Amino acid sequence: MTILVTGGAGYIGSHTVAELLHRGEEVVVVDSLNSGHKAAVSRGTFYKGDLRDREFLEGVFKKHDIEAVIHFAARSLVGESVQIPLAYYDNNLLASHHLVSAMLDHGVQKIVFSSTAAVYGKPKQIPIREEDPTVPTHPYGETKLAMEKMFRWCEQAYGLKSVSLRYFNAAGAHPEGEIGEDHHPETHLIPIILQVALGQRDLIGIFGDDYPTEDGTCIRDYIHVMDLARAHWLALEFLRKHQQSGVFNLGNGRGFSVKQVIETAREVTGHPIPTEVRPRRAGDPAVLVASSEKAQRVLGWKSQYHDLKTVIKSAWQWHQAYPRGYADK
């Protein structure tokens, strides 16, 4: 039987596809290539298409004996979601609605879902635990939370089993160096810093240095993309074994400020990486750090890349080999 991976040509999706294939799973990828890259999926069956195209989706479900779905496909930029919220309701909620309808029509009852730390909004306590209040501060987080809820209601009504993985900040690249992070435009901190080190940008803008943190810059929990990839396989195994739904945080449990990330990148790259302080970015909470105790206890997951330097080194290896990302492949 086959695992359908939506958004499998994207950053986290492509690393998960590589992990699933490594584990001997059969994989079918569906991706619109809106932000992903065909070259990121070198093995497995690939279909270019949009989840909102019901006829297209129907064709994929008819052609393959699908056991479960891993659902990455989404728009996922915090700032953009504030500017064009309807695009987020359309591409995230409507697309997921089509996907779940097709799944249920074809008797597919298991889904692993890319949720996010953004569902918590401004956390009341650190580290954040799964039972903490979920009060998103932007449409991106709002649509992800709505999808989690949609899965829960579908469990009650139709028996759908879901695992929602709330990831914190994904970073790094595959250890074999053939796939990595390549977004256009790039908005994420670590790849932008590495573009400065490559000479593609003059400096990195720091979005606010007046947060209530030790050095005034935002603190995030950076988790290696291969640790995330392995968690998806474990979530699939959890669904197979227990026929039970669940929600899990995935982070390293350690927070690093924007300034600390820049300093570590200077050590890794040997580049001075000039900075400029800019205004705060709308919707950014000061600190997001996960407790992943539940994922460790229930899924048997453990982060293998806890050191920020190792995470940045692995991203740097990819950016050095492919300075223009997949355009160089």
Ligand X SMILES: O=c1ccn([C@@H]2O[C@H](COP(=O)(O)OP(=O)(O)O[C@H]3O[C@H](CO)[C@@H](O)[C@H](O)[C@H]3O)[C@@H](O)[C@H]2O)c(=O)[nH]1
Ligand Y SMILES: NC(=O)c1ccc[n+]([C@@H]2O[C@H](COP(=O)([O-])OP(=O)(O)OC[C@H]3O[C@@H](n4cnc5c(N)ncnc54)[C@H](O)[C@@H]3O)[C@@H](O)[C@H]2O)c1
Which residues carry out catalysis?
A: 140
Torsion over CA of 4, 167, 264 and 303, rounded to 10 degrees? -80
Class of residue 229 by CB neighbours under 10 A (exposed 0-12, middle 13-18, buried 19+): buried
Smallest gap from residue 288 Cβ to ligand X (A)? 5
Residue from 21, 33, 126, 273 in contact with ligand Y (CB under 6 A): 33
Out of ligand X, ligand Y, none, what residue 9 binds, judged by CB under 5 to 8 A for its kind, is ligand Y
Q: Is 91 in the site for ligand X (CB under 6 A)?
A: no
User: Which of these ranges, 26-34, 238-246, 269-277, 316-324, lies near ligand Y under the rule CB under 6 A?
Assistant: 26-34
Residue with smaller CB distance to ligand Y, 277 or 327: 327
Residue from 27, 28, 29, 74 in contact with ligand Y (CB under 6 A): 74
Instruction: Give CA–CA dist 36/60, Å, rounded.
Output: 19
User: Which of these ranges, 11-19, 189-197, 286-294, 317-325, lies near ligand Y under the rule CB under 6 A?
Assistant: 11-19
Task: Annotate each residue in 80-109 with x if it binds ligand Y (CB under 6 A) or - if it does not, as one string.
Answer: -----------x---x--------------
125, amino acid identity = Q
DSSP character at residue 120 = G
Residue from 28, 206, 226, 234 in contact with ligand X (CB under 6 A): 206
Q: Is 216 in the site for ligand X (CB under 6 A)?
A: no
Count of helix runs (H) and strand runs (E) in the chain: 11, 13
Query: Six-digit token pair at 75?
Result: 């728009």
Q: Is 243 in the site for ligand Y (CB under 6 A)?
A: no
Q: Is 78 in the site for ligand X (CB under 6 A)?
A: yes
Out of ligand X, ligand Y, none, what residue 13 binds, judged by CB under 5 to 8 A for its kind, is ligand Y
Class of residue 243 by CB neighbours under 10 A (exposed 0-12, middle 13-18, buried 19+): exposed
Contact 119, 148 (CB under 8 A): yes
- 168-181 in b/e form (b: 16+ CB < 10 A) is bbbbbbbeeebbbb
Smallest gap from residue 226 Cβ to ligand X (A)? 17
Residue with smaller CB distance to ligand Y, 254 or 271: 254
DSSP character at residue 295 = I
Residue with smaller CB distance to ligand X, 44 or 141: 141
Q: Which helix (H) or strand (E) holds 191?
A: helix 189-197
Residue with smaller CB distance to ligand Y, 186 or 271: 186
Out of ligand X, ligand Y, none, what residue 10 binds, judged by CB under 5 to 8 A for its kind, is ligand Y
Instruction: Give CA–CA dist 56/63, Å, rounded.
Output: 11
Residue from 81, 96, 162, 169 in contact with ligand Y (CB under 6 A): 169
Residue from 23, 38, 122, 188 in contact with ligand X (CB under 6 A): 188
Concatenated DSSP letters of 50-78: -TT-HHHHHHHHHHS-EEEEEE--S---H
Q: Is 192 in the site for ligand X (CB under 6 A)?
A: yes
Smallest gap from residue 46 Cβ to ligand Y (A)? 11
Instruction: Give CA–CA dist 155/185, Å, rounded.
Output: 37
Smallest gap from residue 307 Cβ to ligand X (A)? 18
